[in-house]
Amino acid sequence: MTLRFGTDGVRGVANLDLTPELVVALGRAAARTLRADRFVVGRDTRISGPSLEAALVAGLTSEGVRVGTMGVVPTPAVAWAAAAEEAAGAMISASHNRYPDNGIKLFTSTGRKLDDDVEDELERTLDELVGGGDVATTAAPTGDAVGTVAAQPEHLLSYADHVVASIGGRDLRGMKLVVDCANGAASVIAPHVLRRLGADVVVLHAEPNGTNINEACGSTHPDDVQAAVRAHGADAGLAFDGDADRVLAVDGDGELVDGDQIIAICAVDRRARGELRNGSVVVTVMTNLGFRLAMAAHGIEVVETPVGDRYVLDALASEGHALGGEQSGHVIFADLATTGDGLLTAVQLLDVVRRSGRPLADLASVMTRLPQVLRNVRIAVADDLDARLAPDLDAARASLDGRGRVLVRRSGTEPLVRVMVEAPTIDEAESVAERLAGAVARLGK
């Protein structure tokens, strides 16, 4: 079996899909395809992380690459270090998935994710290495040409300095925060950065044991941080995912503030300060209709992309926009980072709260979310699903009569079809979503 790149690198069950042998080959293929003589490598807190790190490093060094291992770090810290060091980067993580899964995200020496054509070349090289083709017989370096490995934990502290400096010498003094680290990569660095900025921090789920990453905590399960904000009378809460490239917020009333609202708050603030390049934001097709209406009210153009932060990143880079992201909490500040960064996003959001003197709940009211229902349907057969589902989609859209939206798409990381419905009322959204999800399940058997 070989690996295929999805919307966020390669991903699978560690030691079953993502075996050490395959990851060694992936390391060799990455070295040859990216043509980099240096790599920085990080990982999250999964039990399989050290094993896969060893395999990846073995593949890279067998091709003569010098590798700096960063240890347990957020994905954006690897992207930042890659750009700072002008080295390629690799992050071993399955993001918000449960602990049995793992994955590998690759970055160029500019700190950006790989383009489609580079991924295609990498897949071809990997196939040849695994299948014993001409690439596999290419002479490997020997003697002092073999790559080296060095621990480089200092990169994490330099990344922390970068996040702290991103608000121009201001601080978060006087703010009480609850932070849910998802027992993942944010567990040490997020509380450290927020305390350096002067905040009083209550920490949840920051005791990783290899198997509890994302387990009933973090951005996919924000109930604990919502309850803790209320219990502690905090100004705000933050919920990271396992590799800390996304964050959701909680206001002082314990209400969730999602990625759409975070982007809206920061877009309006930056527009008011003359710092929103092109007067625009970049979001995906999943972004709530309420966001689009709010941006129109503030004279901000909305640029839409397919789902996946890489597509948002492409639009930001190619068209010169400054801010974009996803409802899930992947937010990219293009003038400060090369990828989605949960900790940087949290600091930027809290800086708006601090400067404005307004509660987060008040700021979040800049947009009114239409009721939105999401259903994930696990399927066995995806062939011609779009065509076979077309009559059901047409019926769903006709029932909304222009008062909402329907979106059905396949996941880029799991064998799922995601059904999203927005409607004027939650009951109507749920009714339409249930009908569509049932149709997907029936056709996907």
Q: Where are the strands (E) in 84-211, listed by range?
A: 88-92, 101-107, 149-151, 176-180, 200-204
Q: What is the dihedral of CA 266, 167, 314, 103, to 10 degrees?
A: -110
48 classed as catalytic: no
Separation CA 70–CA 56 (nearest Å):
13
Determine how many CB atoms are found less than 10 A away from the CB of residue 91: 29
Q: What are 11's two structure tokens?
A: 């991903």
Angle at 213 between CA 209 and CA 217, to 5 degrees: 120
Give the CA radius of gyration of the chain.
Answer: 22
DSSP letters spanning 249-279: EE-TTS-EE-HHHHHHHHHHHHHHTT-SGGG
Strands 405-410 and 176-180: unpaired
Which member of 95, 109, 166, 328 is catalytic? 95
DSSP letters spanning 303-349: EEE-SSHHHHHHHHHHHT--EEE-TTS-EEETTT-SS--HHHHHHHH
Residues 6+ apart with CB under 8 A from 218: 96, 180, 181, 182, 183, 184, 205, 239, 240, 241, 242
Among 48, 51, 81, CA closest to 67: 81
Catalytic residues, which ones?
A: 95
